[in-house]
């Protein structure tokens, strides 16, 4: 004879909650790469009062030929709550709202061709975060790579999107203080 009431009453409320989490999972590949400040010996100003320099993600996204790779910049305490399904260029990810109310923004998009693997000899393969000043107040440029507003700490990661779908991401960097 079937049970007239469930053996585990909480399971009825858990299933809808689990189903709500499915769209955020998306099967995003977690790549074994952690962005870091560059160690290029010929480069000065790795950290300034409003910028820092990280190495480009060479050979990291080689399986994602159709993806656009974005750099995500977040306040240290906001990194763990960044929503990978947010789209670049929206009010939720616009540089102009950083750091309040936007806690993480997306910038410096590139295709795989911008990160050739292996790195050609003699080429400096870095990204300077915070180097654009012309777009600071321009809402038409929400993916501005504008100067960082304070000492941080900040964290960065790379996120690959195919269309608007996140397909792969790196780990977050260690905290970076200017």
Q: Can you tell me which residue has the tokens 């560059």?
A: 38
Interatomic CA distance for residues 134 and 32, integer angstroms? 35
pLDDT (tens digit per residue) in 47-58: 999 999 999 999
Torsion sign across C-alpha atoms 122, 38, 156, 74: negative
What's the confidence (pLDDT) of residue 44? Answer: 80
User: Does the pLDDT at position 107 exceed 80?
Assistant: yes
Assigned token pair, 133: 């000043």
What's the confidence (pLDDT) of residue 176? Answer: 97
- pLDDT category of residue 121 using cuts at 50, 70 and 90: confident
- pLDDT category of residue 147 using cuts at 50, 70 and 90: very high
How is the chain split into domains, by residue range? 29-170
Q: Quick one: what percent of the chain has pLDDT higher than 90?
A: 70
What's the confidence (pLDDT) of residue 4? Answer: 52
**pTM of the entire structure?**
0.83
- pLDDT category of residue 14 using cuts at 50, 70 and 90: very low
Average pLDDT over residues 153-166: 96
pLDDT (tens digit per residue) in 74-99: 999 999 999 999 999 999 999 999 99
Q: What are the contacts of 77-84 at 24+ separation with CB within 8 A?
A: 78/103, 78/104, 79/104, 79/155, 79/157, 79/172, 83/24, 84/24, 84/26, 84/28, 84/159, 84/166, 84/169
Radius of gyration of the chain (CA): 19
Question: How does the average pLDDT of the chain come out, rounded?
Answer: 87
What's the confidence (pLDDT) of residue 11? Answer: 53
User: Does the pLDDT at position 177 exceed 70?
Assistant: yes
Interatomic CA distance for residues 68 and 98, integer angstroms? 22
Cβ count near 27 (within 10 Å): 8
């Amino acid at each position: 004879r079937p049970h007239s009431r469930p053996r585990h009453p909480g399971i009825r409320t858990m299933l809808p909650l689990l189903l709500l989490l499915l769209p955020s999972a998306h099967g995003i590949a977690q790549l074994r790469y952690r962005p870091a400040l560059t160690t290029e010996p010929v480069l000065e100003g790795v950290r300034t009062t409003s910028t820092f320099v990280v190495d480009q993600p060479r050979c990291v996204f080689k399986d994602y030929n159709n993806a656009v790779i974005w750099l995500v910049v977040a306040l240290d305490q906001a990194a763990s709550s960044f929503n990978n399904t947010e789209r670049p260029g929206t009010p939720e990810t616009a540089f102009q709202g950083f750091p309040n109310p936007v806690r993480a923004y997306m910038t410096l998009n590139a295709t795989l061709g911008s990160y050739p693997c292996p790195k050609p000899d003699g080429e400096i393969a870095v990204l300077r975060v915070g180097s654009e000043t012309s777009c600071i107040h321009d809402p038409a440029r929400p993916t501005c790579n504008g100067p960082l507003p304070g000492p941080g700490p900040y964290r960065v990661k790379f996120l690959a999107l195919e269309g608007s779908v996140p397909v792969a991401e790196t780990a977050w960097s260690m905290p970076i203080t200017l």
